[in-house]
Structure 1
Amino acid sequence: MVKFAPEGRPFILGAVAATVAVFITLKNWITAIPFAITLFMLYFFRDPERVTPTDGGAVISPADGKILLVIEVKEEEFLKKDVRKISIFMSPLNVHVNRAPCDGEVMSVKHTPGSFKKAFLDEASLKNDNIAMVMKTKKGDILLRQVAGSIARRAVCRVRPGDTLKQGQRYGIIKFSSRVDIYLPLAAKVVVKQGDKVLAGVTVIARCDDVSPEGEGV
């Protein structure tokens, strides 16, 4: 049975209602327009089951999409240290449900209002409307940032501080095109590169086999 993200219900039901209303009122080919929108909403908000690898040292992709960049940066706001940043761009055709990259406890969730620049731009990472979530894991603290794009106007984080997440567990969604940035300990070994396509809850994007809880290599 096909599963849909609950955040999509207003969009799906609205599109269905519009289709019925146009059909009853006009009874012509114009009905195809809201019907096509209904099909797109069903496709966009699909939430397929995924089989997550059982590998404690692996960091799993939190989003479907394409790797925009893999860089080393100084994360000043939350982690306050040098980290590895991996950015994933989600097009409107990707599944937009986000999943936990590893087991851990949610330490903080912060929504920062901002602009709605195109999500693939470097500046969008910090200037766009976003939700930042910090997870405490056995391999150190990890930061996940859900970034809204030029079409997406809202990211949804379903968890709160104190919640625990299992690797591959759904924790949120971003509506329409957007991106997710993940900040890992500097000692993490990234195994993806720019341009690679990844699946949330499935694709291994990094390994932390030799990373301590402080985020340092051991």
Structure 2
Amino acid sequence: MSLIQSLKLVMSPPHPAARPFLLASGAGALIGRALPFRATKLAGTACGLFFGFCLYFFRDPNRVVPADPHAVVAPADGHVVSVEKIAPPPELDMGNAPVWRIATFLSVLDVHVNRMPAAGTVTRVAYHAGQFLNASLDKASELNERNAVRLTLPDGRNMAVVQIAGLIARRILCDAEEGMKYEKGERFGLIRFGSRTDLYLPEGVEPLVEVGQTMTGGETVMARL
């Protein structure tokens, strides 16, 4: 990545979910620094640092989605921690047959906006309460708090995207609702602060990525339909 591309990424406008954090920390920074007390100035400085962190964490850069209609793109930024065949989450009613699951871990330094891996219609959204284990652990897919989305493709096949809360992440945001239609690469949610996103491919579709590979949400091709 070039210096210009890096600057554009860092300076991307924040996701709307950042507004309450930016307002609170920004007000705290201004008030704290304005008051003539050492303690309030220190608090104001801390608020200012948190304001800068929120600007960085909630950045929402535009992405160039591949034109290939058969491409399945990464639903999140981060690095792949698991590629294996496993049954989809039971709450999605996708059957018990194992399919390829690609798990992507997002650190606090990654862009946390989630994007649809393909064009299709949301036919199920299911929230599952759970724990807040380290999202890089394989058991996080089953034990952690998660929000699962089933996407039905135009040809009738199903795939799924599962947003998983992590050790620090305690809030999953999902704008997708049943019946909504999405284009490939379109934003549908966000997880804060540090998390994991699992992609379940349709039966018969093979992954094109491997463990350790870095993903760019909405751009990296993970499979081809």
Q: What is the RMSD computed on CA atoms of the aligned residues?
A: 1.5
- Tell me which residue corresponds to 2:150: 134
Q: Distance in 2 between matches of 1:46 and 1:95?
A: 6
Identity value in percent: 37
1:24 matches 2:37: no
Q: Distance in 2 between matches of 1:113 and 1:74?
A: 19
- Tell me which residue corresponds to 2:17: 7
TM-score normalised per structure 2: 0.88
TM-score normalised per structure 1: 0.91
The residue type equivalent to 1:20 in the other structure is L
Residue 148 of structure 1 deviates from its aligned partner by 0.5
Q: Distance in 2 between matches of 1:147 and 1:182?
A: 11
1:163-199 deviation per Cα after TM superposition (whole angstroms, max 9, x unaligned): 0000010000001100000111231121110000011
Q: Distance in 2 between matches of 1:92 and 1:37?
A: 13
Asked whether the 8 Å contact 2:115–2:189 carries over to 1, the reply is: yes
Asked whether the 8 Å contact 2:82–2:138 carries over to 1, the reply is: no
With 92-101 and 78-87 compared, the bigger mean Cα shift is at: 78-87
1:206 matches 2:206: no
- Tell me which residue corresponds to 1:55: 68
- Tell me which residue corresponds to 2:141: 125
Residue 17 of structure 1 deviates from its aligned partner by 1.2
- Tell me which residue corresponds to 2:82: 69
Q: Distance in 1 between matches of 2:100 and 2:139?
A: 17
- What is the number of equivalent residue pairs in this alignment? 208
The structure-2 alpha-carbon separation of the partners of 1:24 and 1:110, relative to structure 1 and needing over 3 Å to count, comes to same
Q: Distance in 2 between matches of 1:87 and 1:11?
A: 28
Q: Can you give the 5+ residue segments of structure 1 that lack an aligned partner in the other structure? A: 209-218
Q: Can you give the 5+ residue segments of structure 2 that lack an aligned partner in the other structure? A: 1-10
Q: Which secondary structure state, in structure 1, belongs to the residue aligned with residue 28 of structure 2?
A: helix
- Tell me which residue corresponds to 2:126: 110
Q: Distance in 2 between matches of 1:101 and 1:27?
A: 51
Aligned with residue 182 of structure 1, among 169, 185, 199: 199
- Tell me which residue corresponds to 1:192: 209
Name whichever structure is richer in helix by fraction.
2
- Tell me which residue corresponds to 1:87: 103
Q: Distance in 2 between matches of 1:180 and 1:18?
A: 33
The residue type equivalent to 1:91 in the other structure is S
Q: Which secondary structure state, in structure 2, belongs to the residue aligned with residue 109 of structure 1?
A: strand
- Tell me which residue corresponds to 2:179: 162
Asked whether the 8 Å contact 2:29–2:47 carries over to 1, the reply is: yes
Q: Distance in 1 between matches of 2:200 and 2:150?
A: 9
